[in-house]
Structure formats: structure tokens, C-alpha cells
């Protein structure tokens, strides 16, 4: 009984710690989104406010559901642990008892199924929305180049993970952590190339040296979202051009002065309803991806991983 209570407390403590970590990472992502939108762009600032509110609401609901689920499992464990002192009780044809581990697995599977159903419903509602239209345009652009999207999780590290994936195709083993560390180091050693492009979202003024230092620290120590400035730094670090494919504009090449084979990323403005996002690409275009059903299925699986993990 005492061991069971200890296990429940440990699970609750781990869940609370994970929630704190997820909230911290979300705040870092939100800050990155705010930094990417000019203060005087009222339309994008309004959309940003709505996206941030949606992010926070979804995380709050997710955490509430997980806590309720933990409490439910704890109650079931307490019921299972109540001693029954009945002598010579024989039950014929009694079904096999389900273990606690099996119950937890079934609960997790039920939650995963629920998330997948919610995602599917959201995608049906979004068939005429901006995200779907963007996906269709990108599929056509990539098809012309015999490429297809390689999904990258939306966790604040998407740009760095997309670069990591592209480098892996060139037998380079730099990790996300190494890319973040080198990016921050390069930007700190070339302050004048980056500082003029960073402004305080509250004051509209250019970053102070202290704010710029914190910005670079966040690149290394948090899941802060990476954008064009970080891509510029990475292009110089790797001495490699980086091509950005997008739905509504011609591709952008950063680091055209370098002659190596470009790293290719896909920039999405409406991915997951969470704001801007980067994916990688891979060769071997599959024609079926042009159909909305196939494309939405790929998208849904990626989004379900984001919510469940």
C-alpha cells in the first residue's frame, strides 16, 4: 500500500515537472513569435495575439486532461489495493485480472485515439482554410522539383532540426544542440550584423546589448524559435547556401556567396495553427501527395505526435 502511494506521488511529481517544462518552452516559443512580428504591423500583431491565446488555452486544457487522467488512475489503483479477506472463496469462470500496467496502456491508447479524432475533425473543418491552401501550393511547388516535405516536429526546434536533417543527407553529424550553440556564438561575435534587426516588442526600440546577450543565451538554453537571422548565421558557419521554399513567394536563398550544394527548407506560415514553422525536404516525390487526403493524413500524424509527446 505504501509502495503504491509512493509510486502515485512520483508519477504526479513527474507530471507536474513536465508541465512546468512545457510551459517554459511554450513561453520561449511565444517570445520568438513576438520577436518575429514588427510592432507597427497591427494585422499580424492581432493574429499573433489570437495564436498565443490559442496556444495557451490548448496547453492549459492538455495539462488539465492529463492531471484528471492521473487522478482517475490513482483512484483505480487505490480500489485495486483494498485487501479482501474472504476465506475459501472460489469464483468459477472468472475473467483474467487486468494489470495496472495494462490499464495505463489502454488509457494512453484511448487518449491517443481521442487526439487523432480531434485532429481529423479539425482538418475536415480546415479544408478551405489558409493552412490547407498553403499545403496544396507547397505540394505542387515541390512536385515540380521532384521533392516532398519531410515533417519536422513543431517543438520550437523546428528550424534547427530541419537543418540537422539536411546536413545528415550530406554526412554531417552536427546536432541541434551544436547548431544552437554555434549560432549563438557566431551572432555574439558579429553583433553589428544582427543587433540592428532586433527590436523590443514592448518599446519598439532596438535591443540593448544586455537584451541581445539574453537573446543569444535563449538560443542555446531554451526552445526559442529560429528565423532568418539564425539562418544567416548558420549559412556563414556552414559556409553553405540555405534555400527557403514558401507557398506564396519565390524561394529565398541565404548565403548565395557560397558554392556548396544548398540546404533546402520549407517555410510554412499556417502550420498546426501554432504560427510559423520549418520542415525539411526529401527526394522521391510521390504523386499521391498532391491529393488533399494523403497530404492531410501526413499532417495529422505529425500533429498527433506533437500533442501526445
Catalytic residues: 155, 158, 277
Which contiguous run of DSSP H or E holds residue 91? none
Cα angle for residues 251, 254, 256 (degrees, 5° grid): 100
DSSP 99: P
* Rg, the chain, Cα only: 24
Whether 48 contacts 34, CB under 8 Å: yes
- Let me know: does 160 contact 180? Beta carbons within 8 Å: yes
Residue 281 corresponds to which cell in the numbers above? 525536404
Instruction: Break the chain down into helix, strand, coil percent, rounded to 5.
Output: 65, 10, 30
β-bridge pairing 263-268 and 242-245:
parallel
Q: What strands lie across the sheet with 252-254, from one edge to the other?
A: 147-150, 277-283, 263-268, 242-245, 252-254
Amino acid at each position: 500500500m505504501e509502495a503504491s502511494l509512493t509510486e502515485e506521488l512520483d508519477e504526479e511529481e513527474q507530471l507536474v515537472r513536465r508541465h512546468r517544462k512545457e510551459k517554459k518552452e511554450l513561453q520561449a516559443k511565444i517570445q520568438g513569435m513576438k520577436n518575429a512580428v514588427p510592432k507597427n504591423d497591427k494585422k499580424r500583431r492581432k493574429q499573433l495575439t489570437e495564436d498565443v491565446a490559442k496556444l495557451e488555452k490548448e496547453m492549459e486544457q492538455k495539462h488539465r486532461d492529463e492531471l484528471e487522467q492521473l487522478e482517475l488512475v490513482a483512484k483505480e489503483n487505490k480500489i485495486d489495493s483494498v485487501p479482501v479477506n474472504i476465506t475459501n472463496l472460489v469464483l468459477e469462470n472468472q475473467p483474467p485480472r487486468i494489470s495496472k500496467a495494462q490499464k495505463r496502456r489502454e488509457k494512453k491508447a484511448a487518449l491517443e485515439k481521442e487526439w487523432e479524432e480531434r485532429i481529423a475533425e479539425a482538418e475536415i473543418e480546415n479544408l478551405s482554410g489558409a493552412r490547407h491552401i498553403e499545403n496544396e501550393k507547397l505540394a505542387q511547388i515541390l512536385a515540380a522539383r521532384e521533392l516532398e516535405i519531410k515533417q519536422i516536429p513543431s517543438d520550437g526546434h523546428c528550424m534547427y532540426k530541419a537543418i540537422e536533417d539536411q546536413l545528415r543527407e550530406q554526412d554531417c553529424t552536427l546536432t541541434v544542440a551544436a547548431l544552437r550553440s554555434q549560432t549563438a556564438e557566431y551572432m555574439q561575435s558579429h553583433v553589428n550584423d544582427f543587433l540592428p534587426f532586433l527590436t523590443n516588442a514592448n518599446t519598439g526600440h532596438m535591443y540593448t546589448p544586455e537584451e541581445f546577450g539574453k537573446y543569444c543565451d535563449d538560443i542555446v538554453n531554451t526552445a526559442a524559435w529560429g528565423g532568418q537571422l539564425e539562418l544567416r548565421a548558420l549559412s556563414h558557419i556552414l559556409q553553405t547556401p540555405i534555400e527557403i521554399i514558401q507557398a506564396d513567394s519565390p524561394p529565398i536563398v541565404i548565403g548565395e556567396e557560397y558554392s556548396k550544394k544548398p540546404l533546402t527548407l520549407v517555410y510554412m506560415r499556417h502550420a498546426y495553427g501554432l504560427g510559423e514553422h520549418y520542415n525539411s525536404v526529401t527526394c522521391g516525390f510521390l504523386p499521391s501527395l498532391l491529393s488533399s487526403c494523403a497530404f492531410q493524413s501526413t499532417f495529422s500524424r505529425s500533429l498527433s505526435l506533437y500533442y501526445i509527446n
